[in-house]
Amino acid sequence: MIIKELNSQVKEDLKRYFEERDYIVVSVPKDEPIRLYVVKANRTLETVVRLFNPEGEDRERLGKVVMGALLLTSLVKHATEQKISLEIKTGEKRYYAEADGKGRVRCFMEYALSETKTLTVVRELGLGKPYTSIVPLVSEDISESINFYFYQSEQTPSVVGFVLKETNGKPEYAVGYLLQSMGGAKEEVWKKLRERTLQIGNDSLAVKKARPEEIAEDILKGFKPMLVGLKEVEYYCPCNEDIARLGAFSIPEEERKEIFETEGMIELTCKFCGRVYRFSEEDLKN
């Protein structure tokens, strides 16, 4: 674990190293059991836009679901392949993102009619059956629904927020933050820090393009902010030909035969990255 005072030299080092990279900063007030996670995801959301070309509210929702999944990796072990997924069902569409402890994330969106509007979080810890929690989608604002998830399923006082700004259809500024009380924090300190997160204005952050460490310092100002963790993040899809071949074999044999007779080959497309895999009958025999 990194433990450093969040001073001007540390901020300069972070700026220099992560100048063109996306990353998460984990910081704490020195004397309180409170954690603050701040993610910068400009490049990651650029990839999302390039892959899916979402428009309007789809772009905003998918971006927030991606950053939400990255922030939720606070629930899994750092630098591991343990996964956490975040799914939003609005009644007409489904927005899904999964991320691991190494900061790798991928996503997709699709039309999916549903009688209920829900937020689902799944934790895959490699210990057998994943832990799944489903809560109502309490607001059109995804951050409010994630806050409700923490209150309902984790019983952890939390504040989640996102700031998204675009220029000429390109993500120019994308940050998200998660403030959590780990238990035992002074009520007046928690209230003060919570108020600071709620006072963060989208325009003010976007105008000055505040970096994660600067946002952390502003929120924790006066409480000896300490840097305790860093994680580089990226859009990453591990699909490959072997995985796709297994997908082809999952198609019932009779259906495979029919596809080969009519189409000549089986074509599979990864919903996370758009890669196309094609297999002839001979390919599968081999």
Domains of the chain by residue range: 4-235, 241-285
- Whether 199 has a pLDDT exceeding 60, the answer reads yes
- At residue 142, the pLDDT reads 93
pLDDT for 282 equals 87
What pLDDT, on the 0 to 100 scale, is given for residue 220?
A: 94
Tens-place pLDDT, residues 81-121: 899 999 999 999 999 999 999 999 999 999 999 999 999 99
- What is the per-residue pLDDT across 252-276, written as a single tens digit (0 to 9) for each? 989 999 998 899 899 999 999 999 9
Cα separation of 61 and 114, whole Å? 17
pLDDT band at 207 (very low <50, low <70, confident <90, very high): low
Chain centroid to Cα 125, Å, comes to 17
What is the pLDDT, as a whole number, of residue 203? 56
Residue 73 binned pLDDT confidence (cut-offs 50, 70, 90): very high
Rounded percentage of the chain residues whose pLDDT exceeds 70: 97
Q: Tell me the mean pLDDT in the region 141-155.
A: 92
Question: What was the pLDDT predicted at 168?
Answer: 77
- Pairing mode, strands 22-29 and 4-5: unpaired
Is it the case that residue 160 has pLDDT exceeding 80? yes
User: In whole angstroms, how far apart are CA 170 and each of 59, 164, 233?
Assistant: 11, 11, 19
| CB-count burial class (<10 Å; 0-12, 13-18, 19+) for 26 | buried
At residue 204, the pLDDT reads 63
CATH 3.90.1280.10: does it fit domain 241-285? Answer: yes
Residue 202's pLDDT is what? 57
Q: What confidence tier does 286 reach under pLDDT thresholds 50, 70, 90?
A: confident
Has residue 196 got a pLDDT over 60?
yes
Beta carbons of 85 and 121 less than 8 angstroms apart? yes
| CATH classification for the domain delimited by 4-235, as one of 3.40.640.10, 3.40.50.20, 3.55.30.10, 3.40.50.300 | 3.55.30.10
Q: Which of 132-146, 193-207, 225-239 has the lowest mean pLDDT?
A: 193-207
Q: The pTM is what?
A: 0.93
**Mean pLDDT of all residues in 162-188:** 89
Q: Is the pLDDT of residue 123 over 90?
A: yes
Between CA 5 and CA 235 the distance in angstroms is 30
Measured CA distances, 31 to 115, 189, 254 (Å): 47, 10, 65
Mean pLDDT of 176-197: 92
- Rounded Cα distance between 88 and 145, Å, is 9
